[in-house]
Amino acid sequence: MRFPDASGRAGFTAIEGVSFSVADGEVVALIGPSGCGKSTLLNIGSGLYASSSGHAFVDGERVLGPNRHVAFMLQKDLLLPWRTIAENVALGVEIQQQTKRECARRASDLLRGLNLADFAAHYPHQLSGGMRQRVALARTLAVDPSVLLLDEPFSAVDAQTRISLQQDLAQTLKHAGKTALLITHDLLEAIILSDRVLVMSARPGHIVDEITIQIGGRDDPMRRRQDSKIAGYMARLMERLEIARPALSA
């Protein structure tokens, strides 16, 4: 992916020579130095960016623009303040032109699953940051995507809330059988939430390592945190990131 400068000429290359696949029901984490092109990859996969060369595919279909196979969850919840929590969750389903009954059913089921049923009639400003992120997750799942693209979805919440949200996400992805590509700067989060971790180099970003997480119970991050293999995975990731980070100049 090449981005032009202000004059329209070639500016810089964000990613180059990147090739990987994610299997059905798999969760893959992307880590790497800031500016290495992680978010660019998600934007290409979602159809928001058209790559300068090469192709992206979802469910065997070439990505030519935004499509119903993919849903995106960002760092900010971006809930609409004038809509209730249930109405926010149902937004994407409304855009798909589902019936009012179906919109309400999906919102109700998801809010119940995420322990938010009692807040369906509330507005975003009445909820805590962690609860708003749960609503954002419910909204992402409401459109029943094949693939979830998660761009640091928990970076804006405190550590305690983050642990709770990790548990919610892991259980939801496992039980719904969803495929996900997760960007995070938290190495432990990458390990406990994913089946594989892909390490990217400094810009132009490319894959420098692929680590398969051989710890059972992906739907239980709390338990995974206590596994004796965690330290080894952390050490390997830190070593690879040290190699991958950009060199400093005087």
pLDDT digits (tens, 9 = 90+) for 201-241: 999 999 999 999 999 989 999 999 999 999 999 999 999 88
Evaluate whether residue 3 is within a structural domain. Answer: no
Gap between the Cα atoms of 58 and 147, Å rounded: 8
Q: Is residue 159 part of a domain?
A: yes
Is 8 domain-assigned?
A: no
- Domain final position from 127, 144, 161: 144
- The answer to whether position 66 is within a domain reads no
Report yes or no on 211 lying in a domain. yes
Number of domains present in the structure of the chain:
2
The answer to whether position 248 is within a domain reads: yes
pLDDT digits (tens, 9 = 90+) for 20-29: 999 999 999 9
pLDDT for res 247: 57
243 and 151 fall within a common domain: yes
Over range 181-201, report the average pLDDT.
95
Do 44 and 165 belong together in one domain?
yes
More confident: 9 or 169: 169
pLDDT digits (tens, 9 = 90+) for 49-105: 999 999 999 988 999 998 888 999 988 899 999 999 999 999 999 988 889 999 999
pLDDT value of residue 63: 93
**Amino acid identity for residue 104 in this structure:** A
Please tell me whether residues 25 and 96 are part of one structural domain. Answer: no
Question: Does residue 7 form part of some domain?
Answer: no
pTM summary value: 0.89
Q: What CATH number has the domain bearing residue 207?
A: 3.40.50.300
Same domain membership, residue 52 and residue 149: yes
Chain-centroid distance, C-alpha 12? 25
What is the signed CA dihedral for 174, 176, 178, 180, rounded to 10 degrees? -60
Full residue range of the structural domain in which residue 123 is found: 80-144
Is the model's pLDDT at 155 over the cut of 90? no
DSSP codes of every residue in 184-224: -S-HHHHHHH-SEEEEE-SSSB-EEEEEE---S-TT-HHHH
- On whether residue 110 sits in a domain, the answer given is yes
Do 121 and 149 sit in the same domain of this protein?
no
Residue at which a domain ends, from 144, 172, 199: 144
Is residue 134 located within the same domain as residue 150?
A: no
> How many other CB atoms sit within 10 Å of the CB of residue 69?
20
Which pLDDT tens digit goes with each residue over 108-124?
A: 999 998 889 999 999 99
Same domain, 33 and 111: no
Residue 91, H or E segment: helix 91-95
Over the chain, what is the mean pLDDT? 91
Residue 99 and residue 31 share a domain = no
Residues 93 and 53 in one domain: no
Give yes or no: residues 98 and 121 share one domain.
yes
Model pLDDT, residue 249: 47
